[in-house]
Amino acid sequence: MNAPDNSMKNQKILVDMGERCGDVSLQCSDIAGSLNQLNSAIQDDVVRLEELQQIMGDLTHNQAESGDAAQQLRATAQSARDIIAQCHRAASASLNEVAELVRLVTGLETELRGFLPIIETVGGISGELRDIAKKTRMLGFNATIEATRGGEATRSFGVVADEIRRLAERADASAGSVGEKLSELDRQARILIGGVEANIEQGRNTGAHIDELRSSMDMISGLVDEFHHRSTAIADCTDDASRDVDILRAGLHRFGETAIEHARQLDHVRERVDGLEGFANDILNSTAHAGIETRDSCYIRYGRQGAEEVVRTIAAALGSGGLDESDLFDVAYEAIAGSDPVQYLNRFVAFADRHIRPLLDVHTARDIAIVGCCLVDMNGYQPTHISARSLPQRKNERQWNLEHARNRQIFMDGQTRRALDSEGEFFLYTYRQDFGDGRYRALRSVLVPLTFNGRRWGLYELGYLI
């Protein structure tokens, strides 16, 4: 009685151990999936951080150039300030000289107008001299006549009278010439006065322009001073910004190194969890081969039965010529243009859709826990799938396509790879069903090797939920 009891107890312990290992494998799959998501997120963050560091590098370079430009701007502003100050002094001196010249030109009118009465006075004296000369000449002429009448006694007086008359003529001629010169001088003086008046008016206008120019020069000086102050402020801000950018860049660099180290550690943890998952799956698979009835046993039978029916169908087609072996093993996958995620065609697809998909639908419907049956070749390619997972893709709906258009895609995970590379009647593994973009589902799968004409084609897979 004790031996059968112990045997039953051992079987119960073995079954319980297998179930617990299966649960551990599921938990490991779930944890590994979470770690993969986290690691992927960290890797994405690291990539973005590297991009940010690149941007920071460019910003640092640009900031350095801005700093140099700001320093040059400040130096230019100082030079402009000095030049403007020098120009302002020189211009002020020149303007003062011009203003003094205008003042002198303006005063010249008064002096010239004071000179006109003198010219008129001299002209009057010249006229009087001409009158005197005319009268003296008449007097000399009369004296000459009288001297002629007096004979020898008045001859000497006649000589004097003639000389007086000649002098009077000369005085009259000189006075006439002086009068003409004075008239010309008066005319020229009046012309000059007219020109001076025009110059005076222009000088007054120039004086107004000089005042405006002084005001503009003062305004320019003020603007240059403000430009200098602002350029100095810009240079100071640029220096502060450069220091802040250097601090930020150093912080990002430290953060990047820390993130990379954390990602490395997380990847190491994920590898250990994958190892634990593989170890638990080995125990689960070993328990499944112990011949003990467990909650997985019915699904193992369903999987093996489904695989046998697929093998019979394909073998019959190969035997009848309905399927060529080269088409069955075709790996020249051709990407379907515009598909997202990418789907592929090969020469086995048409046969698989027509003859294998109906079988997959039937075997999937045998139990509510079964989520799907499919075929996977040695490269992870699924030529067909159940009808619910073989719907036409929708444009620009990648998430929907990942769940509902899983046929003709290539999937590969660690447990599938192990089953493809291993020998055995079947394998019972827990793994993560990938839905892309970090989404997954933990499944338990029965994987049955498929061999045709002595060549390993791939696997028949039945996935179910526990």
The string of pLDDT tens digits covering residues 152-200 is: 666 666 666 666 667 666 666 666 666 666 677 667 667 766 666 666 6
Q: Classify each residue of 242-280 as buried b or exposed e, where b means 16 or more C-beta atoms within 10 Å of its C-beta.
A: beebeeebeebeeebeebeeebeebeeebeebbebbeeb
Per-residue model confidence (pLDDT) at position 156:
62
Residue 401 has pLDDT above 60, yes or no: yes
Per-residue model confidence (pLDDT) at position 391:
96
Counting the structural domains of the chain, the total is 2
Q: Are 102 and 207 in contact (CB under 8 A)?
A: yes
- Cross-strand bridge partners of residue 322: none
* 186 vs 292 pLDDT, higher one: 292
The answer to whether the bond into 341 is cis (omega within 30° of 0) is: yes
- pLDDT bin (cut points 50, 70, 90) of residue 388 is very high
Per-residue model confidence (pLDDT) at position 339:
96
- Both 126 and 99 in one domain: the answer is yes
Whether 247 maps to a domain, the answer reads yes
Whether 10 maps to a domain, the answer reads no
- Both 252 and 306 in one domain: the answer is no
Residue 3 has pLDDT above 60, yes or no: no
- How many CA atoms are closer than 13 Å to the CA of 152, on its beta-carbon side? 0
* 136 vs 6 pLDDT, higher one: 136
What's phi and psi for 166, nearest 5 deg?
-65, -40
Per-residue model confidence (pLDDT) at position 353:
97
Per-residue model confidence (pLDDT) at position 292:
80
Residue 14 has pLDDT above 80, yes or no: no
Residue pLDDT, tens place only, 230-261:
767 776 777 776 777 678 667 767 766 776 77
Residue 8 has pLDDT above 80, yes or no: no
Mean pLDDT score, 105-132: 64
Whether 2 maps to a domain, the answer reads no
Last residue of a domain, one of 239, 266, 288: 288
Per-residue model confidence (pLDDT) at position 336:
96
- Both 205 and 221 in one domain: the answer is yes
Residue 256 to residue 103: CA distance in whole angstroms: 78
Whether 210 maps to a domain, the answer reads yes
The DSSP annotation for 75-93 comes to HHHHHHHHHHHHHHHHHHH
Tokens matching residue 316: 């019959």
Residue 134 to residue 169: CA distance in whole angstroms: 7
- Cα→Cα distances 223→43, 227, 229, 230, Å: 54, 6, 10, 10
Q: What range does the domain containing 410 cover? A: 295-466
- pLDDT bin (cut points 50, 70, 90) of residue 324 is very high
Query: What CATH number has the domain bearing residue 159?
Result: 1.10.287.950
Secondary element (H or E) of residue 431: strand 427-436
Last residue of a domain, one of 288, 319, 345: 288
- Both 357 and 283 in one domain: the answer is no
Residue pLDDT, tens place only, 444-453:
899 999 999 9
Query: What CATH number has the domain bearing residue 351?
Result: 3.30.450.20
- Both 88 and 40 in one domain: the answer is yes
- Both 225 and 315 in one domain: the answer is no
Q: Which of 52-61, 114-123, 374-383 is the most confident on average?
A: 374-383
Write the single-letter amino acid at 227.
F
What does the angle CA 111 – CA 113 – CA 117 come to, to the nearest 5 degrees? Answer: 115
Residue 83 has pLDDT above 60, yes or no: yes
- Both 421 and 404 in one domain: the answer is yes
Last residue of a domain, one of 288, 323, 345: 288
> What does the chain come to in residues?
466
Residue 363 has pLDDT above 90, yes or no: yes
- Both 304 and 185 in one domain: the answer is no
Whether 359 maps to a domain, the answer reads yes
- Both 342 and 205 in one domain: the answer is no
Residue 2 has pLDDT above 60, yes or no: no
- Both 282 and 337 in one domain: the answer is no
Q: Which of 5-9, 200-204, 420-424 is the most confident on average?
A: 420-424
- pLDDT bin (cut points 50, 70, 90) of residue 151 is low
Whether 11 maps to a domain, the answer reads no
- Both 91 and 189 in one domain: the answer is yes
> What is the chain's mean pLDDT, rounded?
77
Residue 404 has pLDDT above 70, yes or no: yes
Residue 289 to residue 16: CA distance in whole angstroms: 14
Looking only at the bridges linking them, the beta strands covering 439-452 and 427-436 are antiparallel
Residue 114 has pLDDT above 70, yes or no: no
- Both 223 and 336 in one domain: the answer is no
pTM over 0.85: no
Backbone dihedral region for residue 361 (phi beyond 0: left; psi -120 to 50: alpha; all else: beta): alpha
Whether 6 maps to a domain, the answer reads no
Per-residue model confidence (pLDDT) at position 423:
92
Q: Are 217 and 88 in contact (CB under 8 A)?
A: yes
Whether 1 maps to a domain, the answer reads no
- pLDDT bin (cut points 50, 70, 90) of residue 222 is confident
Smallest Cα–Cα separation from 377: which of 417, 342, 406? Answer: 417
